[in-house]
Amino acid sequence: MIASPSYTVSLEPLSAEAFAPFGDVVSRPIGERRRYLPTMLNCADEAQSFSLWISGAAALGELPLRATTLERHPYSAQTFVPLGSARYLAVVCAATSDGDPDLPTLRGFIAGPDQIVTYARNVWHHPMTVLDAPMEFAVAMGVTGRQNDDVFFGLDATVTLIMPPATS
């Protein structure tokens, strides 16, 4: 019997530059009247219905965390606007040529409550995971109206998310 592979993802601070291959990071506007988010800029023609909802995420508790599933949205980008003051995780990876998660490319980021994350259309990501305390998010995406906006992938590999070693 072949053992399933295992991956350890060392979480890193979220920055727009590091996250760029997977989507967009915007900080809350301080001193600006409006800061537009790119959500609807990355939606398929069949997903032009705009959906906005409040999503509550329980606090993780503590790391390490075993990731068991990833998800993607084939027709739209997806934006998360934190409504609280907790940190949260943005865990992403590229896709293989057959469209499944390419687990060796997994990256995990720790986002602050002032950071607004948009997963680009079809990018594999871990379900919203919050550190420190329960937190709600405003979530926005384009939807098709055919209940086919979410694709889930159960991981047969062992994927462990860990805090980075404390820098001396």
Ligand X SMILES: NC(=O)N[C@@H](O)C(=O)O
- By CB under 6 A, name the one of 37, 40, 44, 139 that touches ligand X: 139
Half-sphere exposure in the Cβ direction for 95 (13 Å, CA): 18
Binding of residue 43 to ligand X (CB under 6 A): no
Per-residue exposure over 7-46, b if at least 16 CB sit within 10 Å of its own CB, e if not? bebebeebeeeebeebbbbbeeeeeeeeeeeebbebbeee
Q: In 3-state terms, what secondary structure has residue 25?
A: strand
Site mask, ligand X, residues 90-129, x = CB under 6 A? -----------------------------------x-xx-
Phi, psi of 61 (to 5 degrees): 105, -95
* Closer residue to ligand X in complex, CB, 5/50: 50
Q: How far is the CB of 31 from ligand X (least distance, A)?
A: 30
Binding residues (CB under 6 A) for ligand X: these are 55, 71, 78, 125, 127-128, 139, 150
Binding residues (CB under 5 A) for Ni ion: these are 78
